[in-house]
Homo-oligomer: A and B are copies of this chain.
Amino acid sequence: VVLVNPRNPLNVGAAARAMRNFGVGCLRLVNPYELAFREARSAVGASTVLKQATEYGTLAEAVGDCTLVVGTTAARNRELHHPVRRLETGARLIRKHLAGGRVALLFGSEKRGLSNTDLSHCHWLLRIATREQQVSMNLGQAVAVCLYELTRGSESQRPRDGRAAASPSATAAEQERVTEVLMEALLASGYLQRSAAAQDKLRRLVRRLDLRAEDAEIWLGMLRQIAWKLRRLE
């Protein structure tokens, strides 16, 4: 991550934090507003990312060892001489490239973004798809979004959603037991009269809950207690 002419220490700190979040280690600053850099660096809890950040006088030096240089831009008001890729597409290219070389991702100053001269160092540009009304993003947030997309799915896509794995759905038999006890409780409460139609309706109602096995147990316990109490009081 290369920040070109950053002014605000909070933004430098925020960029560094996002880098830690997404496991990106190397931060370079080109011609930072001196105070901002020192302030960010000496902030309580400044991360190693920030402490090891290096400062350069020119962009050319900062990206000297990189084989791909990508600029970020809001890309609406200027005539650009570069291919502009949406973040989703560009991130894929960057990931590929990272297998064989270093990639510099450039972020301009808060006010002006990257200058035309800065852009001339770039191979192509990256654009985050924002809305017309408010195109330009906060620097720290832009860094976070870019790095999120770059590392997206990199945990080798191990979706730990596993609702199904962690807690299997209730079997039909379990759902039927819930239906029966519910019926019993409703009969005792006077909510309905016994009928095949009512039973069918309840059965559908319970099936729509799509209960997990462990929840079915809980519901059974609750409904049994209620039904027992109602019968006892009758």
A interface, CB within 8 angstroms of B: 10, 14, 17-18, 20-23, 47, 83-86, 88-89, 128-131, 133-135, 137-138, 140-142, 144-145, 148-149, 151-155, 159-163, 166, 182, 185-186, 188-191, 205, 208-212, 215, 218-219, 221-222, 225-226, 228-230, 233-234
| A129 CB contacts on chain B under 8 angstroms | 151-152, 154-155
**Cβ B189 vs Cβ A18 within 8 A:** no
Least CB separation from A137: chain B residue: B21
Given the complex, which residues of B lie within 8 Å of A153, measured CB to CB?
Answer: 88
A47 to B138, CA, bound (A): 14
Chain B residue contacts of A128, Cβ below 8 A: 21, 148
Contact of A17 among B138, B209, B211, B212 (CB under 8 A): B138
Number of copies: 2
Can you name 22 A-B residue pairings with CB atoms under 8 Å?
A17-B141, A18-B138, A21-B130, A21-B134, A47-B134, A83-B162, A84-B161, A85-B159, A86-B159, A137-B144, A138-B140, A141-B141, A145-B148, A182-B222, A185-B226, A188-B229, A189-B225, A191-B226, A205-B215, A205-B219, A229-B230, A230-B230
Q: Which residues of B contact A133 (CB under 8 A)?
A: 20, 23
Could you list 19 further interchain pairs (A-B, Cβ under 8 angstroms) beyond the known A189-B225, A230-B230?
A10-B10, A14-B138, A17-B134, A18-B141, A21-B130, A21-B131, A23-B133, A47-B134, A88-B152, A89-B159, A128-B148, A129-B151, A144-B144, A182-B222, A188-B229, A209-B209, A209-B210, A209-B211, A210-B210
Give Cα A219–Cα B47 distance, bound, in whole angstroms. Answer: 47
Smallest Cβ distance from A183 to chain B, in angstroms? 10
